[in-house]
């Protein structure tokens, strides 16, 4: 990636995260509840048996209730654990109290007691990000963890991103290795990029 592109990404990422941080706690909780309900209403979620999602960190969309609902619906819940070399380990979690510990950055991560799940078994992956556009492009946090992980999934597995509407921008600066999302869910809408012929 060239320096100018890297610099642009950093600038846009900072702007998106400032917009997100400006939301008040009550507003963030209300909007998160709406987003989590929208996910549970998706046929892709209802039909999935193995769901990978993330536990929110700082001011991301709240996902704890969604994780609990996934377990309650007898689906297999997979959470990411950050490993060396920018890799994500997909670990099954059966209990959000017993199977979770703080990771390197204080992010709630799964313990390694259940071992890795084969990424090809994942039916649906739900991901965070700093910013998104309505072409299906995602701006991550700069580590490349998810872009590397997407390559290990079944190509037909839906990639569903979550964010607040304030994080949706006109155009995300992307590189050729940046994967597009299948769908984006905000408190306002469910954007399905398959209608654009992206997926």
User: Scanning the structure block, which residue is given the tokens 């490349």?
Assistant: 144
138 among annotated binding-site residues: yes
- Could you tell me the two tokens for 138? 């995602």
User: In whole angstroms, what is the distance from residue 179 CA to residue 88 CA?
Assistant: 15
pLDDT digits over 117-158, tens only? Answer: 999 999 999 999 999 999 999 999 988 899 999 999 999 999
Quote the strand ranges of 72-182, DSSP E.
Answer: 76-82, 88-93, 100-102, 108-110, 124-127, 131-132, 138-139, 159-162
9 among annotated binding-site residues: yes
Domains (ranges, CATH) in the chain?
A: 3-196 (3.40.50.10420)
pLDDT of residue 1: 52
143 among annotated binding-site residues: yes
pLDDT digits over 34-87, tens only? Answer: 999 999 999 999 999 999 999 999 999 999 999 999 999 999 999 999 988 888
55 among annotated binding-site residues: yes
Is the model's pTM score more than 0.85? Answer: yes
11 among annotated binding-site residues: yes
């Amino acid at each position: 990636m060239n320096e100018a592109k890297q610099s642009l990404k950093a600038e846009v990422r900072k702007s998106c995260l400032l917009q997100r941080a400006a939301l008040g706690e009550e507003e963030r909780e209300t909007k998160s509840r709406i987003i989590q309900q929208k996910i549970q209403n998706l046929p892709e979620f209802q039909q999935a048996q193995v769901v990978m999602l993330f536990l929110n960190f700082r001011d991301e969309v709240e996902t704890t209730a969604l994780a609990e609902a996934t377990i309650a619906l007898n689906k297999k819940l997979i959470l990411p654990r950050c490993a060396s070399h920018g890799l994500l380990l997909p670990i099954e979690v059966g209990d959000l109290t017993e199977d979770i510990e703080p990771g390197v950055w204080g992010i709630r991560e799964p313990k390694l007691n259940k071992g890795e799940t084969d990424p090809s078994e994942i039916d649906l992956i739900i991901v965070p990000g700093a910013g998104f556009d309505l072409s299906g492009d995602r701006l991550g946090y700069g580590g490349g963890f998810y872009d590397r992980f997407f390559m290990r999934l079944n190509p037909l597995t839906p990639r569903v991103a979550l964010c607040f509407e304030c994080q949706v921008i006109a155009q995300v600066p992307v590189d050729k290795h940046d994967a597009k999302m299948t769908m984006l869910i905000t408190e306002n809408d469910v954007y399905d990029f398959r209608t654009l012929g992206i997926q």
